[in-house]
Amino acid sequence: QATKPIYTGGRIAAGVRQATAGINAADAQYDAAEQDLILQVITAYMDLRRDRETVSIRQNNVEVANEQERAAKDRFEVGVVTRTDVSLSTANLEGAKAALASAESALEASIANYTYLTGLVPADLAPPPPVPTLPASLEEATTFALDNNPDMIAARHNERAASEAIEAAKAQGRPSVSLVGTAQVQEGYYSARDINNQSVSGVIQGSVPIVTGGMVKSQTRAARLKRDQARRQIDLLDRSIRAKVASAWFGYDATLRAIDASKRQVDAAEIAYDGAKEELAVGVRTTLDVLDQEQQLFEARLSLVQAERNAYVAAHQLLRATGQLRRPVALDAETR
């Protein structure tokens, strides 16, 4: 026996559309999860590069501070400086060592996070690939994000699936018509003869729900509530995406300006530090002046490293918000 639905009041068609929308929503959710992971890996990669450069700068700071302490002791021996100058140099050296220990701890944490996300133990890190082309304006970025952000795409498909669920629920209370086909074969033995009877029949059956105990109304009401919830989710996502795009846009712009300022700061700090050392040699500057200039130089270099990391991450946060984030092919660490 086989049954072929002829008319179901739209239930089957609505069910197919609902399932299709659900599949599309799942695809979009997978895309969103993939882009989230890519952003995490990019952030971990840039954190790792930043922390390695920070350790290098801190190591250089310790070397310079160690040399300054030695020079201060030599000048103290010949009566050029006081014991206070030696103590200042020693304090500066110990501070540099403490800062190095903190930087090394941060580096180990970044290595652990990168390994957790990628399964790789980083060795030499290649420079990151250039930032992909970004939208030309905040308005363009926002419009593109509302159309292409995978979270929004998934939410819209979920709303469509919920709407089709309403139609499927309504169809439960409509008439249905089906074609029922039956095939039979009878075999037997009668009066020394084999008997083989075959028959095929088809019947059209119809059914009309008369009493459902409120089931159809209840299912329809529940489906409407789910659709309304899906629509509210779209509204929330709309505001969230607009905020994320704006935050990433202005954050990226700020980090670019921070990079320019940090580069100028490093150049000026290098000149000031070199000048302070020369003036110390002729007695115009004190040891404390040189130590202050040295500290400003190292802090300027660290600020530049942090600004470059922030700019790269902010650019990819903007790409994630607009749904454009894809795995950079060159963003790989060698393994050891």
Complete domains list, the chain, with CATH: 8-174+215-335 (1.20.1600.10)
Tally of residues, the chain: 336
Give me the pLDDT at residue 186, please: 66
What average pLDDT does the segment 27-31 reach? 95
* Mean of pLDDT values over 47-56: 95
SS3 content of the chain, % helix, strand, coil (to 5): 70, 15, 15
Model confidence at 300: pLDDT above 90? yes
SS3 assignment, position 128: coil
> For 60-72, b where at least 16 C-beta lie within 10 A, e where not — what string?
ebbebbeebbebb
108: pLDDT strictly greater than 70: yes
pLDDT tier, 327 (very low <50, low <70, confident <90, very high otherwise): confident
pLDDT band at 188 (very low <50, low <70, confident <90, very high): low
Confidence (pLDDT) at 207: 77
Residue 191, pLDDT > 90, answer no
Distances (CA, A) of 33 to 8, 29, 117, 150, 235: 38, 6, 13, 9, 21
Mean pLDDT of 58-80: 88
* Residue 315: band (very low, low, confident or very high) from pLDDT cuts 50, 70, 90: very high
- Widest CA span of the chain, in angstroms? 139
Q: Does the pLDDT of residue 335 top 50, yes or no?
A: no
Higher pLDDT, 294 or 267: 267
Strand, helix or coil for residue 192: coil
Query: At residue 240, does pLDDT exceed 90?
Result: yes
- Worst-scoring range by mean pLDDT, 95-99, 188-192, 200-204? 188-192
- The mean pLDDT value for 273-285 works out to 85
The whole-chain average pLDDT of the chain stands at 87
Highest averaged pLDDT of the listed ranges 11-20, 26-35, 84-93, 196-205: 26-35
Does 156 have pLDDT greater than 80? yes
- 191 vs 123: which has the higher pLDDT: 123
Strand partners, 125: 333
332/122: higher pLDDT: 122
Token pair in block for residue 304? 């530049």
Task: Give the pairing of strands 122-125 and 176-190.
Answer: unpaired
Residue, of 135 and 186, whose pLDDT is higher: 135
Collapsed DSSP state (helix, strand, coil) of residue 184: strand
Residue 336's pLDDT band (cuts 50, 70, 90): very low
Per-residue CA distances from 335 to 118, 119, 168 (Å): 11, 10, 54
The pLDDT score that the predictor gives to residue 183 is 76
Residues 300-318: what's their mean pLDDT?
95
Task: Return the higher-pLDDT residue of 156 and 273.
Answer: 156
Mean pLDDT of 245-251: 95
Per-residue pLDDT reduced to its tens digit, 212-227: 667 788 888 898 999 9
Q: Supply 219's token pair.
A: 């299912």
Residue 190 has pLDDT above 60, yes or no: no
Task: Say what the pLDDT of residue 333 is.
Answer: 46
Are 153 and 200 a contacting pair, CB within 8 Å? Answer: no
User: Do 172 and 11 meet the contact criterion of CB atoms below 8 Å apart?
Assistant: yes
pLDDT value at position 197? 67
Residue 323 CB contacts under 8 Å (≥ 6 apart), including other chains: 31, 35, 144, 145, 148, 149, 150, 152, 153
Burial of 37 (0-12, 13-18, 19+ CB in 10 A): middle
Among 149-153, 262-266, 274-278, whose mean pLDDT is lowest? 274-278
pLDDT band at 199 (very low <50, low <70, confident <90, very high): confident
